[in-house]
Structure 1
Amino acid sequence: MILLAFLLATLLTCGFALIRGGAPERLIAVTFLVGAVASVLVSIHAKPMPGGFQLGIFCVDVVMLFAIGGVMLKADRYWPIAVAALQFLSVLGHLIKLLDPNVVTVLYWIANAFWAVPQIVILAIATVRHSHRARRPGGDPAWANPSRSTKR
């Protein structure tokens, strides 16, 4: 039931970001959607390694970290930094299980899945804020503009 609620929240938030968000919000939404589908497919087709480590989901999370990190580096927004940090914590949860297979499986699941909830909340808030800023004169630039930086 919790998984179903999370998937519904993810679909609604990502759909909202795809419709009303700027380029960074849309890219992160696509990353979340592709990551969710890939995680479900991997968990259906791949068995956990001895000790419970899930290599396939770890790989999905690492690819998502790089995608979110790329948006973070180019976007003219602060919120992708928080989303990337939360994704990094999820990847660290996998590494903890890999280094210590005795970590309780429930704690491993919580260490990975927990961070997705605040990521979805941040995306929803970022999309609302973008839609408000986009109505102002001058709009809401999506990407950092290197020509605006101060030259010394």
Structure 2
Amino acid sequence: MILLAFLILSAICCSYALVRGGSPERLTAGVFLAGTFASIMISIHAPPPPEGFQSAIFLVDLAMLIALGAIMLFARRYWPMAITACQLLAVMGHVIRLLDPQIVPVLYWISTAFWAVPQMLFLAAATARHRSRLRRHGVDPAWSRRPAADHAG
């Protein structure tokens, strides 16, 4: 039931971002959709033991952290910092499990899966703010200039 609720929330938030968001919001929605799809496929084809470290899911979460970190570095938005911080907390949940295999399974689940819900809500709020800035100013620059562009002739 929790998985179904999350999938519905993800579908709503990511669809909203894909249809109404700027390029950082759309790119982030793509990262979330790819990560969710990969995690589901991994869980279907290679379910981990309930007490074990989920190495394949860890790699998906790590790849998402790298992608979200890149968005955070180049987007002219503040919200990617919050989303990337949530993803870092999820990755750290895996690291904690790796370092202490005796951690209570529900705590492992909370430390890794819980953060996806705030991420979806941040994305929906970010998309709404993007729409607001477009209405107010007519434009909403998406990306910061690269440092190397400042020195180009």
Q: TM-score, normalised by structure 2?
A: 0.92
1:18 is the counterpart of 2:25:
no
1:114-151 deviation digits (Å, cap 9, x = unpaired): 1011100000000000011112335000001358xx99
1:56 matched to which residue of 2?
A: 56
1:16-44 deviation digits (Å, cap 9, x = unpaired): 00000000000000000000000001111
Does the CA contact (< 8 Å) of 2:74 and 2:146 recur in 1?
Answer: no
1:110 matched to which residue of 2?
A: 110
Matched position secondary structure for 2:101: coil
Does the CA contact (< 8 Å) of 1:49 and 1:55 recur in 2?
Answer: no
1:133 is the counterpart of 2:133:
yes
- Amino acid across the alignment from 2:5: A
Deviates more, 1:33-42 or 1:132-141: 132-141
Question: How far apart, CA to CA, are the structure 2 residues paired with 1:138 and 1:32?
Answer: 28
Does the CA contact (< 8 Å) of 1:68 and 1:83 recur in 2?
Answer: yes
Instruction: State the Cα distance separating 1:50 from its structure 2 match.
Output: 8.8
Question: RMSD of aligned C-alpha atoms?
Answer: 1.8
> Once the two structures are aligned, what percentage of the paired residues are identical?
58
- Amino acid across the alignment from 1:69: G
Question: How far apart, CA to CA, are the structure 2 residues paired with 1:95 and 1:50?
Answer: 17
Deviates more, 1:82-91 or 1:135-144: 135-144
Does the CA contact (< 8 Å) of 1:76 and 1:143 recur in 2?
Answer: yes
Deviates more, 1:50-59 or 1:23-32: 50-59
1:45-83 deviation digits (Å, cap 9, x = unpaired): 224269510001000000000000010000000000010
Matched position secondary structure for 1:145: coil
Deviates more, 1:39-48 or 1:88-97: 39-48
1:86-113 deviation digits (Å, cap 9, x = unpaired): 1000000000000100001111011111
Structure 1, unaligned stretches of length 5 or more? none
1:82 matched to which residue of 2?
A: 82
